Structure 1
Amino acid sequence: MYLSIKGLAKSFADNEVLKDVNVDVQKGEVLSIIGPSGSGKTTLLRCFNGLERPDRGIFTFSDGLTLNFEKKIDKRELIQFSRKAGMVFQAYHLFPHKTVLENVMEGPVFVQKRNKAEVKKEAEILLEKVGLKDKLNVYPHQLSGGQQQRVGIARALALKPELMLFDEPTSALDPETIGEVLTVMKDLAKENWTMIIVTHEIQFAADVSDKVLFMDGGYIVEQGKPEEVLKSPKEERTKRFLQRILHPSN
């Protein structure tokens, strides 16, 4: 077990977005989260690395770190928690005035205070890994959306996280560039990265996931192996959602 979450809840004012969510993540597992808009998927993902602080819930990591969000949590433990995950956003969030290489180096050098020369070498290797070896010195506006998202993946990997989080990483892309991002993610899955992916790419989720969660109304309605949840769902809400996604004209 890498991470166990029990009783996770999160509200924004009177809107209860997550309601008693329980989920376990194994080391090296690819977990895909699907569901309609407004079901709580992105909020759940942001709770995994502290971008949103849960109202309650207990996070237990395999290294012994335990956070109970109903109690006061030591600042050092919150920092330790936030550094466990690297995040890839929908909208890239690259620094427009920095080159591709500088974007990837930013976090390790200025946040983690690591050696600049060492980070530069690692960043170059990561950019080659995502197919952007020839783009080190260009700026984000000179890249396609798919290329910018691949920079975002390299930037998250540069922080050497234990867990990679992806929030609808292809939703802002043109159809022709979606494949190049999904290919990089498939390669990471083959390398046994622990990954949690919010996605609407159902076939991709079927191909790479070890486990799929279907969320609706702030709850995990159904979870299991891809062939169970995506091919033979038990819950009526899951069936209706997949019908709308896979057969929109019916």
Structure 2
Amino acid sequence: MFLSVKGLTKAFGELQVLNSIDLTIDEGNIITIIGPSGSGKTTLLRCLNALEIPDQGVLSFHDGFEVNFGQKVSKKQLSKLSRKAGMVFQSYNLFPHKTALENVTEGPLIVQKRKRDEVLQLAKSILNKVGLGDKMDLYPHQLSGGQQQRVGIARALAIEPELMLFDEPTSALDPELVGDVLQVIKDLANEGWTMVIVTHELKFAEQVSDTVIFMDHGQIVEQGHPSQVLKSPTQERTSKFIKRVINP
């Protein structure tokens, strides 16, 4: 077990977005989350690295680190939680006034206070790894959407997290740019990264996932092996959603 999630609950005012989510993530596993808009997928990801603070629930990691949101949680705990997970956003979220290299070095230098020479070497290595070694001095507006998203992946990797979170990483991309980004994620999967990916790319989910989760109305409706959930779902809500995605 890498991470255990128990009773994770989150509301925004009267709107209950997550309703007592229970989830176990094993080390090196790739979990993809599918479901309609507004089902709580993104909020769940954001709760896993303290971008949103749950109302209730316990996160327990393999190394004994635990955060119980039913009790008072310290800034130190939230900081440690945020360092455990690297987040790749739907809309890139790059600093427009910084080069690709500067975007990647920002977290390790400013937040983690690591040595500049070490961080530069790491950042250049990661940008090469995602196929952008020749683009590191360019600014976001000089890069395609797919290249910007690969910078986003490199930036998340640069903090050297234990867990990678992807929030619909290809949904803002033109169709011809999707393949390059998915290939980078597949390469990370082959390296044994533990990942949670929110996606509408069902074929991709089938190819890379150990587990597929279908969420609706803030709850996990169904979860299991990709071939089971995507090909032979047991829940009618899952079946209807998959048919809508395949035949919009």
TM range (shorter): over 0.9
Residue 67 in structure 1 maps to residue 67 in structure 2: yes
Partner amino acid for 1:24?
T
What's the counterpart of residue 245 of structure 2? 245
Q: Deviations over 1:49-83 (max 9, x none)?
A: 01011000011111101111110123222211111
How far the C-alpha of 1:102 sits from its partner, in A, is: 0.8
Structure 1 residues 102-121: aligned runs within 5 Å: 102-121=102-121
Q: Deviations over 1:225-248 (max 9, x none)?
A: 101100110000000000101122
Partner amino acid for 2:219?
Y
Partner amino acid for 1:6?
K
Query: Structure 1 CA distance, aligned partners of 2:229 and 2:116?
Result: 45
Query: Structure 1 CA distance, aligned partners of 2:77 and 2:139?
Result: 36
What SS does the corresponding residue of 1:83 show, helix, strand or coil?
helix
How far the C-alpha of 1:175 sits from its partner, in A, is: 0.4
Root-mean-square deviation over aligned CA pairs: 0.7
How far the C-alpha of 1:189 sits from its partner, in A, is: 0.3
Percent identical across equivalent pairs? 63
Structure 1 residues 40-189: aligned runs within 5 Å: 40-189=40-189
What's the counterpart of residue 21 of structure 1? 21
What SS does the corresponding residue of 1:81 show, helix, strand or coil?
helix
What's the counterpart of residue 11 of structure 1? 11
Partner amino acid for 1:231?
K
How far the C-alpha of 1:223 sits from its partner, in A, is: 0.3
Q: Deviations over 1:179-211 (max 9, x none)?
A: 000000000000000000000000000000000
What SS does the corresponding residue of 2:8 show, helix, strand or coil?
strand
Q: Deviations over 1:156-195 (max 9, x none)?
A: 0000000000000000000010000000000000000000
* Structure 1 unaligned regions, length at least 5: none
Query: Structure 2 CA distance, aligned partners of 1:175 and 1:7?
Result: 37
What SS does the corresponding residue of 2:134 show, helix, strand or coil?
helix
Query: Structure 1 CA distance, aligned partners of 2:69 and 2:80?
Result: 15
What's the counterpart of residue 234 of structure 1? 234
Query: Structure 1 CA distance, aligned partners of 2:194 and 2:91?
Result: 22
* Structure 2 unaligned regions, length at least 5: none
Matched length: 248
Residue 206 in structure 1 maps to residue 187 in structure 2: no
Query: Structure 2 CA distance, aligned partners of 1:77 and 1:40?
Result: 24
Query: Structure 2 CA distance, aligned partners of 1:39 and 1:100?
Result: 33
Query: Structure 2 CA distance, aligned partners of 1:201 and 1:33?
Result: 10
